Amino acid sequence: MNTIMNQVLQENSIGTWKLVDDQLYGDDCFLNLIGASKELDAQECLKFHLAHVHPEDQEQFSEYVRKLSEERTEIVYRFLHPEKGVMMIRCSGKKMEDGSIAGIHQDISDIVRLEKDKIVETYLSETNEKLRNQNVAQNDYYKEILDELPCGVFAYTVKEHRIVHLNKRALKIFHIDDLEDVQSKMRSIFKKFEYPDPATNDCLIALRTNDGSVDFEVIINPKESYEVHALAKSKVFKYPNGERIIITIFVDISNLVMLKQSLEQAKEGSAAKSAFLFNMSHDLRTPLNAIIGFSELMKSHWEDSKVSRNYLEKIDESSQYLLSLINNILEMSKIESGKEELKEKPWDIYISCDNLLQFFEPDIRQKNQTLNYAVNIKHNMILTDSLKIREIYVNLMSNAIKYTNVGGTISFSLEEIEREEGLSDYKAVVQDTGIGISKEYLPHIFENFTREKTSSESGVIGTGLGMPIVKKLVDLMHGTISIKSEEGKGTTVVVNLPHRYIVEEQEVKEVDDKEIDLTGKHILLVEDNDLNAEIAQTLLEDKGLKVMRAKDGLEAITIVKENAVDCFDCILMDIQMPRMNGFEACKVIRSLPNNRSQLPIIALTANAFEEDRKDCLDAGMSDHVSKPIEIQSLLQTIESVLKK
């Protein structure tokens, strides 16, 4: 606490000193204020100080020193600082019980700005005369200083709990506005103290009868928006009349506590992020390996269009899986918070499952495993969120292959159980002859980042997120999932999902295969990445649209201004770009005259969350499409925006 008080005094340009038998001891702030070297001993320090008192104030200063041995007294004098020149110093001191003299030394040069020596003499004479004649109470002076301190000071009598002083900082810490109303609230103030150390309260109670001091930590107004964490020191003092008072000093450390918590959270978050990224590497490499592998094969068989087309379909399937994997992991928090929604569209479950299983063909062949595949469904065209259902099946199949040894057997079956007209349960069973799961671990199978064995123990790298994702998605789709397993014998997972099915082919055609014709529409594509721009421009031009590109927001604004009002039908705007981002560019375009402000602007960005979509709409954009580009979805959005 002494360290805290020294720091407070230094911040307020106040040095403390002590005079013992012609030896002057001062703290660092005092030595800095008089410009003395820290290497000076106490006798040299006294000589240095006396030598730098202004010659015209020497007599007055000597009288001040003489009175110090008899009573508390104060002086304002000029001091010749070796570097700063003339300083105005306020010096106050008193005789201590051990015979020494102690006091404070304060630079008040900024307060007293006088230009002429005559005015200085008049000011000094009047000031010292006023101090002597009016006998200004030292308590008032110290209260003024205390009000300016960055720590809270609270003083009250022990017997009657009468408040002696409460400085401005203490009022703020206690969250009290009216100083006059504090006395009636003393009991409620103490009730809002919470001590992390249970022994603190007993120690403070002991001060009522025993002299001494207590250092402690306290939380003031806990759980309120104005909660304060403070380090404090309470000490017993005596008034001249013998009455005992307790003075408590509070130093607000709330920001330090918050910073410490933030650092700890950051460390934990960083560790979790590192572990997550490390574990994710395998799951991400699986589809990437398929994409790269089939791409190489397609190069080798480029002349055979049938074979190349087959490889291309598998590359597309792997790409879609990779995208869905990333999206599902990033949006897990949205699923848990209930913000995730099902995006149901017609989907051929038979063809897609067949393609999905072919996706794992290289892995199954590499491990010389046997795949049993059986589908018994009446209605293959269903309404569902295809990304989510594929994510479920992919995770289950991936686990079955990973945790089954070379030469093992993997089985996938899909059965339709009709519940009522238009609605069926689709029961998928994934079975393997792998290493199995212990009875002890099975109840924890759906917990995030949990694995029964480490990668070193099992020889299989994984994130510990596969089954938790599956469970959340199954729940979201109002389905059920059950697992049976035995160590050394294998695992069986049963997923039952209800789906509405579509009977009429025309209904599917109208919903899913609607042809969108935007031939001849002019698009301004604002994209800083050359590769992304080339992909988007090619996809759009293949559909008959005319595309002009701008490399950033500033260039887009220039193009819009320089061309006719009706030159462009729509703007596709990236968000993160150099020089000017998409939000800023949209704001400028919306302020342009002559109907240019009415140009439809669609955000085309990798920021794919619902929060990102809301930010784009709030910025004045017409709609939002996430990357990577799915051309049919983009065309539908453009068509929808142009119809408004």
pLDDT, tens digit, for every residue of 185-198?
677 777 778 888 88
The three-class DSSP label of residue 92 is: strand
Please determine, for residue 555, whether its predicted confidence score (pLDDT) is greater than 90. Answer: yes
Return the pLDDT at 446.
Answer: 82
Secondary-structure class of domain 515-643 per CATH: alpha beta
Mean of the per-residue pLDDT values of the chain: 80
- For the domain bounded by 2-135, which CATH number is listed? 3.30.450.20
| 323-506 CATH fold | Heat Shock Protein 90 (3.30.565)
Query: Which range scores top for mean pLDDT: 114-118, 393-397, 453-457, 552-556?
Result: 552-556
Q: Which two tokens stand for residue 126?
A: 């009047």
What is the rounded CA–CA span in Å between residue 354 and residue 375?
9
pLDDT interval class at 11 (50, 70, 90) = very low
Helices (H), 239-382: 254-300, 305-330, 332-337, 349-359, 361-366
What is the rounded CA–CA span in Å between residue 289 and residue 572?
32
Q: Are 389 and 497 in contact (CB under 8 A)?
A: yes
Q: Are 536 and 463 in contact (CB under 8 A)?
A: no
- For the domain bounded by 145-252, which CATH number is listed? 3.30.450.20
Query: Do the strands 623-626 and 601-605 form a parallel or antiparallel pair, or are they unpaired?
Result: parallel
Instruction: Summarize pLDDT for 449-482 with one digit per residue, the tens.
Output: 555 554 334 444 444 567 888 888 898 899 999 9
Higher pLDDT, 628 or 399: 399
Same fold, 2-135 and 145-252: yes
Return the pLDDT at 513.
Answer: 46
What is the rounded CA–CA span in Å between residue 397 and residue 153?
68
Q: Are 311 and 301 in contact (CB under 8 A)?
A: yes
Domain boundaries, the chain: 2-135, 145-252, 323-506, 515-643
Return the pLDDT at 580.
Answer: 92
The DSSP H or E segment spanning 499 is strand 490-501
Return the pLDDT at 545.
Answer: 92
Return the pLDDT at 31.
Answer: 87
Q: Are 641 and 570 in contact (CB under 8 A)?
A: yes
Tell me which amino acid residue 372 is. N
- 427: which strand partners? 415, 496
The three-class DSSP label of residue 30 is: helix
Q: Are 176 and 185 in contact (CB under 8 A)?
A: yes
Residues 158-180, mean pLDDT to the nearest whole number: 78
Instruction: Summarize pLDDT for 561-602 with one digit per residue, the tens.
Output: 999 888 999 999 999 888 999 999 999 999 998 888 889 999
Tell me which amino acid residue 547 is. V
Q: Mind giving me the DSSP string for 390-412?
A: HHHHHHHHHHHHHTS-TT-EEEE
pLDDT interval class at 277 (50, 70, 90) = low
